[in-house]
Amino acid sequence: MRMLHTMLRVGNLERSLTFYTEVLGMQLLRKRDYEDGRFTLAFVGYGDEDQNTVLELTYNWDTEHYDLGNAYGHIAIGVEDAYAACAEIKARGGNVVREAGPMKGGVTVIAFVEDPDGYKVELIQQDHNAQNN
């Protein structure tokens, strides 16, 4: 077994696609409109769906906003340098809501950015020479 994708409902598909592709550097892997169901699915990620877990963006044509709820946490992305990633994300117009730095009570460097719908994306600096905390 392996994880295939995580699905997020978005209020504006083009705005979300711009964020995930242009700000976070993912690729649009596939996109399809479902006329009868009045929704569009777009899959984005850092590699082919056969080998990588991806993100499914679901746009329901008649819904512009969702309440995020308080049970959902965030998406996590591994990065080489969280400080540089934050700078690049800001330069591309992204919203960094927690600057890069060690996590509370640990040494792993993390940061958080927010997508256009308010979903949090955690950046985790991948230190391949030490064990993550």
pLDDT at 129 over 60: no
CA distance 48 to 119: 23
Q: If you average pLDDT over residues 89-114, what whole number do you get?
A: 96
Q: Tens of pLDDT along 5-51?
A: 999 999 999 999 999 999 999 999 999 999 999 999 999 999 999 99
Residue 100 φ/ψ region, left for φ over 0, alpha for ψ in the -120 to 50 degree band, beta for the rest = beta
This prediction's pTM: 0.87
How would you classify the pairing of strands 39-45 and 54-60? Answer: antiparallel
pLDDT at 99 over 50: yes
Ordered structural domains, the chain, with CATH: 5-60 (3.10.180.10), 75-125 (3.10.180.10)
CA distance 43 to 27: 8
| 49 a catalytic residue | no
- In the set 14, 64, 88, 122, the catalytic residue is 122
Q: Tens of pLDDT along 38-93?
A: 999 999 999 999 999 999 999 999 999 998 888 889 999 999 999 999 999 999 99
- Among positive and negative, which fits the CA dihedral 2, 121, 74, 37? negative
